[in-house]
A and B are shown apart, each in its own frame.
Chain A
């Protein structure tokens, strides 16, 4: 398997935006260096030839865990909304949403 290109500053800026994180210029430099180091170390994994090996997402192989379609008690709305940063009309209030959902 070909090794991926080394992590760049642009990559970090891109994923920071994807993850809704703001980084200062200094932070961008610092994190790029640190993350690149970690990924260099992880390169031994990326470069292994593991064709034919099945990925294991779950250590314990279980299937078909289901529950009956029966109502369970809901949370008390006041208790929930008391923890909310901003409430109006029994709903969670957020500042303007600029775009539709992707």
Chain B
């Protein structure tokens, strides 16, 4: 399989009338047809609706109009993004079949930019997980080795892009749920600065951490998508008024004169083959003119613990609304409390229940100070730690995940081990900082490795700039074969 055509190129051709959106779409639908059974990236493929959208794009071009910067580009959406009239399940039985009566802001912006929504992708239930195995509808498989996980919670979106089902996808990242699957699937995945992309219409998991971000094959395509979805939204009170950085234009600016800090704490306990790729990326940046330094931010070591107090706390409250009253699953009972309980007990999977209980516990009377408020103080320390690092560096470099893709079933019975997958990604969520994972070759078993770049708030421009240089130096990734056993 040749390298997939970049979205940027597709959009340019469609806008110029050189390619029809319907043809682009049919090509991708055919790829999905051939590969979806092996991968199971989607909860729902929207073939008919997408055809309507594609036809509309072509009609606009024919009428001499400009459909926008994503003209005719198929985009896959994580199934926690509300799409009006189209089932949005969060891969949970409790929302099975629920059709939102409204679109998420990012969906509106995508469609206005000419994109074609090709389907809703599989995910860990309510975004809680690092492997997509907690999905109520079966796990997604890593296109590079289908006996392995794609990562999570946005595993379906990452896999969809990796498998060529769509050139672009959107996911959500609360503790690493875009970056980690991006690394495991060998695609670019990015989490923006908190507040730069509207959360209106994103089904909430942990409100102070959630952000929507792009998946793509290339840094440029990720930048293109970020530019479209970012920007202030009056429907989201946490949406920043400050202009969201426009990144597509700075990609070629290089890294000459920049300082890149290699985060030592992130290399602790990371598989050697992953660590090797991080060092290789550092060398590539040095060769391109950056100064490389070793940087220590000891506070990040507390990130995992703080996260597993803050996120479940907020989640336990955000998921209270699934009570069988207004929408979604209802299991009948004699009285309302019994109905709520029966509905939630049947509708939620084990991981979701675990986190709800953990969150309820850390918020409850008597424990609030010891746990939740403490975690918020740890967050302050992490922000301070990063701030200190950024007085010396422009960006930080490290692995995205401590390992390459693990086998399906390997960690699912051991929640704590699963949680450790997020140790390199969580600190950015806690700090509200942007971070991007860029594919950088493979590990020992031929599985993709991602390296992560981190920056201070609103430094997306710098981040993408550096990411472009890393990408240019990255070893080629074998094409995913959609079978077990990765190509070596």
Interface residues of chain A, those whose CB is within 8 Å of chain B, are 1-4, 7, 11-12, 15-16, 18-23, 31, 34-35, 37-39, 41-42, 44-46, 48, 50, 53-60, 62, 65, 67, 75-76, 79-80, 83-86, 92, 94-98
Contact = CB atoms under 8 A, between A and B. Distances in A.
Given A4-B370, A15-B364, A38-B419, 18 more contacts: A7-B361, A18-B360, A20-B344, A21-B345, A22-B341, A22-B342, A31-B353, A41-B305, A45-B302, A45-B305, A50-B374, A53-B377, A54-B377, A56-B383, A60-B195, A62-B241, A85-B329, A85-B330
A79 B334 contact: no
Nearest to B97: A83
B445 interface: no
Given A44-B302, A45-B306, A83-B98, A59 B431 contact: yes
Given A21-B348, A35-B358, A92-B326, A53 B380 contact: yes
Given A1-B374, A12-B357, A46-B371, A96 B330 contact: no
Nearest to B194: A59
Contacts of A3: 370
Interface in B202-237: 208, 234, 237
B249 interface: no
Interface in B282-301: none
Contact of A42 (B101, B305, B325, B327): B305
Contacts of A79: 101
B308 interface: yes
Contacts of A60: 193-195, 238, 240, 432, 457
Contacts of A75: 101-102
Nearest to A59: B432
A21 B238 contact: no
A56 to B, nearest CB: 4
A22 B241 CA distance: 44
B163 to A, nearest CB: 32
A58 B306 contact: no
Interface in B374-399: 374-381, 383
Nearest to B234: A67
A7 B194 CA distance: 33
Contacts of B327: 83-85
A42 to B, nearest CB: 4
Interface string B132-176: 000000000000000000000000000000000000000000000
Contact of A38 (B308, B338, B369, B376): B308
A19 B357 contact: yes
Contacts of A19: 316, 320, 344, 356-357, 360
Nearest to A54: B380
A94 B101 contact: no
A11 B344 CA distance: 19
Contacts of B383: 56, 59
Contacts of A21: 341, 344-345, 348, 353, 356-357
Given A54-B377, A55-B377, A94-B325, A11 B353 contact: no
Contact of B415 (A22, A34, A54): A34
B334 to A, nearest CB: 6
Nearest to A32: B357
A45 to B, nearest CB: 4
A31 B348 contact: no
Contact of A62 (B238, B340, B358): B238
B379 A56 contact: yes
Contacts of B309: 42, 45
A85 B353 CA distance: 22
A94 B339 contact: yes
A13 to B, nearest CB: 10
A60 B309 CA distance: 20
A23 B350 CA distance: 10
A94 B336 CA distance: 6
A12 B362 CA distance: 11
Contacts of B240: 60, 62
B342 A95 contact: no
B483 interface: no
Nearest to B239: A65
B256 interface: no
A16 B353 CA distance: 9
Contact of A50 (B195, B237, B348, B378): B378
B348 A48 contact: no
Nearest to B379: A56
Given A21-B345, A59-B430, A98-B337, A45 B357 contact: no
B354 interface: yes
A27 to B, nearest CB: 8
Contacts of B345: 21-23
A98 B336 CA distance: 7
Contact of B371 (A4, A20, A67, A80): A4
A60 B320 CA distance: 26
B347 to A, nearest CB: 10
Nearest to B312: A38
Q: A-B pairs with the 4 shortest C-beta distances?
A: A59-B432, A55-B376, A85-B330, A50-B377
Interface in B51-89: none
